[in-house]
Structure 1
Amino acid sequence: MSAEAIPSERQQAVLDAVLELLVEKGDALTMTAVARRASCSKETLYKWFGDRDGLLSETVRWQASQVRAGNFDAQHLDSSALRDSLRDFAANWLSVISSRTSLALNRVAIGGAGSPPNTLGAIVLANGRFAIGERLKPVLEAGRAVGLLHFDDTEETFRTLFGLVARDVQVRLLLGEAIELKPDEILADAQRAVTQFFALYGARENPAKPGH
């Protein structure tokens, strides 16, 4: 599959099966096990995804596609719309990274970090963190273009927002702490992160004139 292709419903079922197996078995994932769980042939898996790395790459992309940058109209972007878009992104992202499947995927990738080549780690970075960054950066740049945000480096600005949203929650979850993030708590955390982000990068709505 190409990076731009949207998986069919049948292919999505296969990717969901991969995520289930990662939760259950960790890195002990084989094409045979996926074919059995998804009730399809290995030949079909190879035709659709190429090989195990291709299957894992598409699985990570499928998981990361659940994190959306939020809807906005660049032609009519105001402070309220921008804040809502960033809040929706933050809440969506927190929901995804705290899910059992996301935690399992990241734990497997981290587990192989000390044994090069860490193929899954590279896949997770390229199709997860980096892809999500490229998805959100246009929102930040649209805010800067209309004078709602002030920053020089888009990547650094995204990393700041990323840190404000995640804090230490993902690390604690990955290490096994039993944190239950309820929807209202996730929304409150997302709103807090956006408020803090605007305190750092938001343009002053009524800047004082020189000498006043």
Structure 2
Amino acid sequence: MRDETREARQAQIESAAYAVLEEKGYSGASMLAIARRAKASNETLYNWYGDKTGLFHALVRRNAAELREMLAAQIAGGGDALAALERLGPALLAVLTGERAVALNRAAAADPTGELGQAIGREGRETIAPLIGQLLEQARAQGALAFDEVDDVREVYLGLLIGDVQIRRVIGRMEAPDAAACAARGKRALALLKRLYAP
């Protein structure tokens, strides 16, 4: 199968997985139900993803792929770390409050096995947070921020950026912020961070 054909097929399967997830929750989202929704064979799903856990790991990984790539490129290329953080903040907020992340988090909250929550942790926060830490360390090396413990400043930044917005989205208490709202919140978080950790 050509790469572009496989990519398109995977996108169909993953869209079907989100639809089944929203209807049946994580425990009810069987590989067979997802295969039927995607009009794919059960064998294809098992060959490509291994099992249901592998499929949902892939969903979380794909949801965070753009952020990982953005962070990795900045870290590898150097450049103005705070300018990169200004671009990252709105993108991160948009992903975390988007329909797919909300669907995954709702399903994880209702999953008694904890498997989906573990996948979200491993493929999401535990992958992205260290990269944000490296970006903050670049900012310190460039003389833009001053701090001792990178873990502390990273938690402060994420708290300023995200606050309770994601949980309010997940429990249905707010609509997804639009691009302007994400940009404004990202700008405010960065301004406060610069004030708190001024050299």
CA radius of gyration, larger in: 1
Within-5 A mapping of 1:200-211: 200-203=196-199
Q: Which runs of 5+ in 2 are unaligned?
A: 1-5
CA distance in 2, matches of 1:94, 1:36: 33
- State the SS of the aligned residue for 2:62: helix
Q: Which one-letter code corresponds to 1:23 in the other structure?
A: E
Q: Which one-letter code corresponds to 2:92 in the other structure?
A: W
CA distance in 2, matches of 1:74, 1:199: 27
- State the match for 1:26 in structure 2: 25
The verdict on how the C-alpha distance between 1:138 and 1:109 changes in structure 2, with shifts beyond 3 A counting, is same
Within-5 A mapping of 1:79-94: 81-94=80-93
Kindly state the Cα deviation for residue 11 of structure 1 after the two structures are TM-superposed: 2.1
Runs of 4+ in 1 over 4 A off after TM superposition: 68-71, 73-76
Can you list the C-alpha shifts for 1:75-113, whole angstroms capped at 9, x where unaligned?
Answer: 763xxx32321121110111112112211100111223x
The one of 163, 166, 177 aligned to 1:167: 163
Q: Assess if the C-alpha contact under 8 Å between 1:23 and 1:101 holds in 2.
A: no
The verdict on how the C-alpha distance between 1:73 and 1:66 changes in structure 2, with shifts beyond 3 A counting, is closer
Within-5 A mapping of 1:20-169: 20-27=19-26, 28-68=28-68, 69-70=70-71, 72=74, 77=79, 81-112=80-111, 115=112, 117-169=113-165
Aligned residues: 191
Root mean square deviation, CA, Å = 2.1
Q: Which runs of 5+ in 1 are unaligned?
A: 1-6, 204-212
TM-score, normalised via structure 1 length: 0.81
Kindly state the Cα deviation for residue 181 of structure 1 after the two structures are TM-superposed: 1.2
- State the match for 1:186 in structure 2: 182
Q: Assess if the C-alpha contact under 8 Å between 1:95 and 1:186 holds in 2.
A: yes
The verdict on how the C-alpha distance between 1:44 and 1:75 changes in structure 2, with shifts beyond 3 A counting, is closer
CA distance in 2, matches of 1:66, 1:29: 26
Kindly state the Cα deviation for residue 74 of structure 1 after the two structures are TM-superposed: 6.6
TM-score, normalised via structure 2 length: 0.86
Q: Which one-letter code corresponds to 1:84 in the other structure?
A: A
- State the SS of the aligned residue for 1:8: helix
Identity across matched positions, percent:
32
CA distance in 2, matches of 1:31, 1:74: 38
CA distance in 2, matches of 1:13, 1:24: 17
Kindly state the Cα deviation for residue 195 of structure 1 after the two structures are TM-superposed: 0.6
Kindly state the Cα deviation for residue 168 of structure 1 after the two structures are TM-superposed: 1.4
- State the match for 2:3 in structure 1: none
CA distance in 1, matches of 2:103, 2:125: 16
Can you list the C-alpha shifts for 1:107-157, whole angstroms capped at 9, x where unaligned?
Answer: 111223xx3x41111111111111111232221111122222222222222
Which shifted more, 53-62 or 131-140?
A: 131-140
Q: Which one-letter code corresponds to 2:197 in the other structure?
A: Y
